[in-house]
C-alpha cells in the first residue's frame, strides 16, 4: 500500500450524534433582526442514531433506512414551505415553546402501562360457574449474562452496537475471535489483503454510519491494516480494528510477530488498548465503544493476546455498551448563528461529512432555502445535497474550479457545519481568511489551530440537532424579504458561474484513448441517481470532482486521506450493503493495481461492482509534481513514475470477472451499459493519453 503524496491532507470531517456548548454572543448582532427568545426543535422530530438502531438479522444487508438520506429523504424533492416575506419587514423569529426533555442518544424504554381493568364476562348459562380471568403472570427476571469466552464477549459487544460485517485476512493468533464473530451473527468476509479489509470496513462505516470491524493478525497483519486506520481517522469514520497478539507469557521477549501494537498502530486510532487479563476486557471494550461512537467518530484498536481470547469470563459479566446522550444546541446559540447568517450580504454554508453521517441533508437544504444561502461541500463530500439544486455551488478542494475558492473567500459570513476544515477543503488553511467572520457547528469543534482565527460562534452539536432546531425556528419566523431577495440575485450569478466552469468540453476528441471529461459525462448520464461511486486517489479524480453531479446523499465514497487502493475495496463494501444498487469504482492504473486482487473477493461475494480504470501507465499525480519541480524542462521528471502496461481485463477474466478494454470515446458507452447489467463484476480499462494531466492542463 502507499499513499498519494499530494493528497496527504489532514481532513477528518466529523459526524455523529450532536452536542452543544456555550458560545459567545455576537455583540454586533441586532435583536431587531432575530428575537432572542427562540428555542430548539421539538424532541419528537429527533430520530435515534443509526448506530443504535435495532440490529438486522445475520447476513442480511443493512436496511436502506440506515443510509444517509439516500432513500427515505430524497433531497431533490424537498420543497419546504417558506413563510411569505413582507417587504421591508424586520427579520423576527417568533418564539416556540422549548421541550424540556433532553435529547437522548437511544430511545428510552416505554413505561409500563397501568394494568387493564378485567373485561366483564358474558352472561353464563344457568347453573354454570362464573369464571374470572386469572391475573397476568409477572415478567420473568432477566437471566444473568452467560459464561463465554473473551472472543465471544468481544463479538457480542460489537454486535450490540451495530457491527454486522467483519473484513479480514485470517490468522492463527485470533481464531478464538473469529469463532466468536461467527457465533454472534457477524458476517466475516475474507479479503486478499488486510489493507483492503480495512478500506472495506471504513467505507462501510462512511456509507452507513454503522461501524464495521477490520481484523488482522499480530504485527504483520496489523501493519497492513494501518492505512485503513489512518483513513478512518481522517474521515472521522467509526471502525473497530481487532488484532491478534502473541501469548501473554511471550510478551516482551521479541516473540514471533510481536510488537507493541497499541503504541504503534494504535497511535493512528482515536483509542487503543491491550487488555492483559479477562477481568480487564469489559472495561477495555466499553472504552473502545465510546471512543468510536461518542463525539467525533473514529477508529479504535484492540490488541488481543491469543491465549486471552479463549479464557472464559464468568457468568454475569455484562456488556458495557452505555453511551452518554449527545448534548443539544442551546436556543440562544441557534438564534445567534441564524442572526449571523441572516444579516450577511454574501453568506455561504460549508458543509462536510458531519451532515452526511447525521442523516440531515434534507434539513440542511431546508435551512439553505429558507435563508437563500448557498452551500459548498467539503472535499470529497460532494453528495451532501443534490448538485442540481440552484443553491449548490460546488465542492471545495482538488478538482474544483477557481470560482469555488473565490466564493468562499468572498463570504462575509461563513457557516461551517460538520467539517474539520482540512488542508484540502481550506485550500492550504487559507479559508477562513484572516479577518473573515465564521461560525462552526460540530460535534467536536476544532481546537486552537495555528493561523486560524477563532470563530465568532461555536456550537458543539450534532448537525441534525442544530439544523432541525434552526429550521423549526425559521419556519415560524417572518424573514426579511429585502435581504433574501438581494442574496437570491447574487446566488443566481454565482450558480451560473459555477455551471459554466464545470461544463464539459463537448468538442470531439480525436487523439489516442478516451477523453476523461467525456467519460465522466457519460458515466453521469447512464448511472441511476442512487448509484454509489467510490473513488481512488489520483489525477483522474480531478475530472470526477469537476464534472460529476451527485443527486442524492450517501452516493459518494472518497478517502480524504488521499490513500491509493481505496476505490475497489470501498465499492465492494458498498455492493455488499446495497445489492440492488449500481456501484462503480473509479481509479487510476496505479491505485487500482494496489488492491486489484480484491476482484476475486468481489466474484466470491457476488458483489456486482463496475471498476473503471483510467490507464496512462504512470503514477500521474507524482509525475505532475515532478514536472513542476523540474520547471517544465523535463529534468529529473521521470524518476520512478513511469510504469509498464498491465492487462487489467485479462486479470479480471482470470478470477471470474468480466473485462473490457476501451480505446475510444465511442466504445465507452456500450461497454458501460453492458457492465451495469452484468451478473458479475466488470473491469473497464480506459486507455488514457499521458498528456491529460488535469481539467485545466489538457493536451491542447
- The CATH number for 282's domain is 3.40.50.970
Domain assignment present for 445? yes
Mean per-residue pLDDT, 71-98: 36
Least confident of 102-106, 356-360, 411-415: 102-106
pLDDT at 538 over 50: yes
Q: What is the pLDDT of residue 144?
A: 86
Question: How much is the pTM?
Answer: 0.81
390, 425, 431: which is closest to 562 by C-alpha?
425
Place 49 in a pLDDT band, splitting at 50, 70 and 90.
very low
The confidence score (pLDDT) of residue 89 equals: 35
Q: Give the model confidence (pLDDT) of 649-682 as tens digits.
A: 999 999 999 999 999 999 999 999 999 999 999 9
Confidence at residue 131, expressed as pLDDT on a 0 to 100 scale: 46
pLDDT at 6 over 60: no
Same domain, 533 and 623: yes
**Is 49 part of a structural domain of the chain?**
no
Residue 420: count of CB within 10 angstroms of its CB = 29
Say yes or no: 300 and 176 in one domain. Answer: yes
Mean pLDDT within 497-509: 95
Q: Is residue 286 part of a domain?
A: yes
Q: Transcribe 588-607 into DSSP letters.
A: EHHHHHHHTTHHHHHHHTT-
Asked if 72 contacts 557 with a C-beta cutoff of 8 angstroms, the reply is no
Residue 633 confidence (pLDDT): 57
Average pLDDT over residues 246-256: 90
Regarding whether 288 and 195 lie in a shared domain, the answer is yes
Query: Is 533 in the same domain as 681?
Result: yes
Strands 438-442 and 457-460: parallel
Q: Of 246, 256, 289, nearest to 160 (Cα)? A: 289
Range of the domain at 246: 148-313
Given pLDDT bands bounded at 50, 70 and 90, which one contains residue 476?
Answer: confident
Residue 346 lies in a domain: yes
How far is the CA of 689 from the CAs of 459, 618, 649, in angstroms?
A: 48, 11, 18
In a domain, 379, yes or no: yes
Higher confidence at residue 19 or residue 450? 450
**How would you classify the pairing of strands 148-149 and 312-313?**
antiparallel
220-235, pLDDT tens digit by residue? 999 999 999 999 999 9
Residue 477: band (very low, low, confident or very high) from pLDDT cuts 50, 70, 90 = confident
Same domain as 639, residue 568: yes
Domain match, 35 and 159 both: no
Look up residue 591 and give its three cell numbers.
Answer: 491505485
Predicted local distance difference test score (pLDDT) of residue 426: 97
Tell me what pLDDT residue 122 has.
42
Number of separate domains in the chain: 3
C-alpha 227/C-alpha 2 separation (Å) is 8
Choosing from 457, 476, 501, the residue where a domain stops is 501
Q: What is the CATH number of the domain that holds 395?
A: 3.40.50.1220
CA 645 to chain centre: 34
**Average pLDDT of the chain, as a whole number:** 84
DSSP 388-429: TSTTEEEE-STT--HHHHHHHHH-SEEEEES----TTTTTTT
**Both 157 and 257 in a single domain?**
yes
Residues 598/536, Cβ–Cβ less than 8 Å: no
Query: 584 and 447, same structural domain?
Result: no
Per-residue pLDDT tens for 376-414? 999 999 999 999 999 999 999 999 999 999 999 999 999
**Do 460 and 360 fall within a single domain?**
yes
638 part of a folded domain: yes
**Residues 521 and 376 reside in one and the same domain:** no
pLDDT, residue 636, reads 61
Residue 470 lies in a domain: yes
Residue 525 belongs to a domain: yes
Task: Return d(Cα 162, Cα 211) in angstroms, integer.
Answer: 7
Q: In the prediction, which pLDDT does 320 show?
A: 92
**Which of residues 451, 478, 501 is at a domain's end?**
501
pLDDT tens-digit series, residues 591-648: 999 999 999 999 999 999 999 999 999 999 999 999 988 765 556 678 999 999 999 9
Residue after which a domain boundary falls, among 501, 531, 546: 501
C-alpha cell belonging to residue 414 = 461563513
Do 279 and 183 share a structural domain?
Answer: yes
Statement to judge: residues 377 and 275 lie in one domain = no
Residue 8 above 80 pLDDT?
no
Amino acid at each position: 500500500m502507499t499513499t498519494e503524496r499530494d493528497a496527504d491532507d489532514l481532513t477528518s470531517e466529523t459526524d455523529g450524534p450532536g452536542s452543544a456548548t456555550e458560545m459567545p454572543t455576537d455583540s454586533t448582532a441586532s435583536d431587531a433582526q432575530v428575537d432572542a427568545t427562540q428555542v430548539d426543535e421539538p424532541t419528537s422530530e429527533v430520530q435515534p442514531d443509526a448506530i443504535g438502531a435495532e440490529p438486522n438479522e445475520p447476513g442480511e444487508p443493512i436496511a436502506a433506512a440506515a443510509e444517509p438520506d439516500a432513500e427515505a429523504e430524497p433531497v431533490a424533492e424537498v420543497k419546504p414551505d417558506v413563510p411569505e416575506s413582507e417587504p421591508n419587514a424586520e427579520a423576527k423569529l417568533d418564539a416556540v415553546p422549548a421541550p424540556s426533555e433532553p435529547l437522548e442518544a437511544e430511545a428510552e424504554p416505554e413505561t409500563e402501562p397501568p394494568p387493564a381493568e378485567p373485561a366483564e364476562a358474558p352472561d353464563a348459562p344457568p347453573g354454570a360457574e362464573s369464571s374470572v380471568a386469572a391475573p397476568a403472570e409477572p415478567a420473568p427476571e432477566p437471566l444473568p449474562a452467560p459464561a463465554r469466552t473473551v472472543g465471544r464477549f468481544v463479538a457480542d459487544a460489537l454486535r450490540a452496537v451495530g457491527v454486522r460485517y467483519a473484513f479480514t485476512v485470517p490468522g492463527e493468533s485470533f481464531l478464538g475471535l473469529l469463532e466468536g464473530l461467527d457465533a454472534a451473527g457477524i458476517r466475516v468476509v475474507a479479503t486478499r489483503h488486510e489493507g483492503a479489509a480495512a478500506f472495506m470496513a471504513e467505507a462501510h462505516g462512511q456509507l452507513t454510519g454503522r461501524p464495521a470491524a477490520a481484523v488482522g493478525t499480530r504485527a504483520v497483519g496489523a501493519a497492513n491494516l494501518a492505512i485503513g486506520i489512518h483513513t478512518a481517522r481522517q474521515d472521522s469514520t467509526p471502525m473497530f480494528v481487532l488484532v491478534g497478539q502473541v501469548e501473554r507469557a511471550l510478551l516482551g521477549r521479541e516473540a514471533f510477530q510481536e510488537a507493541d501494537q497499541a503504541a504503534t498502530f494504535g497511535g493512528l486510532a482515536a483509542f487503543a488498548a491491550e487488555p492483559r487479563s479477562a477481568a480487564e476486557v469489559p472495561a477495555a471494550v466499553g472504552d473502545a465503544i465510546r471512543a468510536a461512537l461518542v463525539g467525533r467518530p473514529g477508529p479504535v484498536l484492540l490488541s488481543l493476546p491469543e491465549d486471552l481470547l479463549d479464557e472464559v469470563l464468568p457468568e454475569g459479566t455484562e456488556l458495557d455498551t452505555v453511551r452518554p446522550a449527545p448534548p443539544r444546541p442551546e436556543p440562544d446559540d441557534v438564534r445567534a448563528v441564524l442572526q449571523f447568517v441572516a444579516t450577511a450580504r454574501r453568506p455561504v454554508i460549508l458543509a462536510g461529512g458531519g451532515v452526511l453521517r447525521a442523516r440531515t441533508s434534507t434539513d440542511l437544504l431546508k435551512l439553505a432555502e429558507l435563508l437563500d444561502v448557498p452551500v459548498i461541500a467539503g472535499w470529497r463530500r460532494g453528495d451532501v445535497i443534490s448538485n442540481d439544486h440552484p443553491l449548490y455551488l460546488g465542492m471545495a478542494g482538488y478538482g474544483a474550479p477557481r470560482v469555488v475558492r473565490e466564493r468562499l473567500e468572498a463570504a462575509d459570513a461563513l457557516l461551517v457545519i460538520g467539517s474539520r476544515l482540512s488542508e484540502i477543503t481550506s485550500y492550504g488553511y487559507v479559508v477562513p481568511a484572516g479577518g473573515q467572520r465564521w461560525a462552526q457547528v460540530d460535534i467536536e469543534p476544532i481546537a486552537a489551530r495555528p493561523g486560524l482565527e477563532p470563530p465568532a460562534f461555536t456550537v458543539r452539536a450534532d448537525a441534525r440537532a442544530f439544523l432541525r432546531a434552526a429550521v423549526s425556528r425559521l419556519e415560524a419566523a417572518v424573514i426579511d424579504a429585502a435581504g433574501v431577495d438581494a442574496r437570491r440575485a447574487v446566488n443566481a450569478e454565482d450558480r451560473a458561474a459555477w455551471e459554466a466552469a464545470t461544463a464539459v468540453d463537448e468538442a470531439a476528441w480525436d487523439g489516442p484513448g478516451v477523453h476523461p471529461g467525456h467519460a465522466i459525462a457519460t458515466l453521469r448520464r447512464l448511472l441511476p441517481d442512487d448509484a454509489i461511486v467510490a473513488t481512488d486517489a489520483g489525477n483522474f479524480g480531478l475530472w470526477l470532482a469537476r464534472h460529476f453531479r451527485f443527486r442524492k446523499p450517501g452516493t459518494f465514497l472518497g478517502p480524504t486521506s488521499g490513500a491509493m487502493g481505496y476505490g475497489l475495496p470501498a465499492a465492494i463494501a458498498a455492493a455488499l450493503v446495497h445489492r440492488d444498487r449500481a456501484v462503480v469504482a473509479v481509479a487510476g492504473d496505479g491505485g487500482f493495481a494496489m488492491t486489484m486482487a480484491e476482484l476475486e473477493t468481489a466474484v466470491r461475494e457476488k458483489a456486482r461492482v463496475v471498476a473503471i480504470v483510467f490507464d496512462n501507465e504512470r503514477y500521474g499525480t507524482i509525475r505532475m509534481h515532478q514536472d513542476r519541480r523540474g520547471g517544465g524542462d523535463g529534468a529529473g521528471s521521470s524518476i520512478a513514475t513511469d510504469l509498464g502496461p498491465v492487462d487489467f481485463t485479462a486479470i479480471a477474466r482470470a478470477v471470474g470477472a468480466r473485462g473490457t478494454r476501451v480505446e475510444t470515446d465511442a466504445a465507452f458507452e456500450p461497454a458501460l451499459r453492458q457492465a451495469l447489467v452484468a451478473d458479475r463484476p466488470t473491469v473497464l480499462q480506459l486507455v488514457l493519453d499521458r498528456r491529460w494531466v488535469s481539467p485545466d492542463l489538457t493536451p491542447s
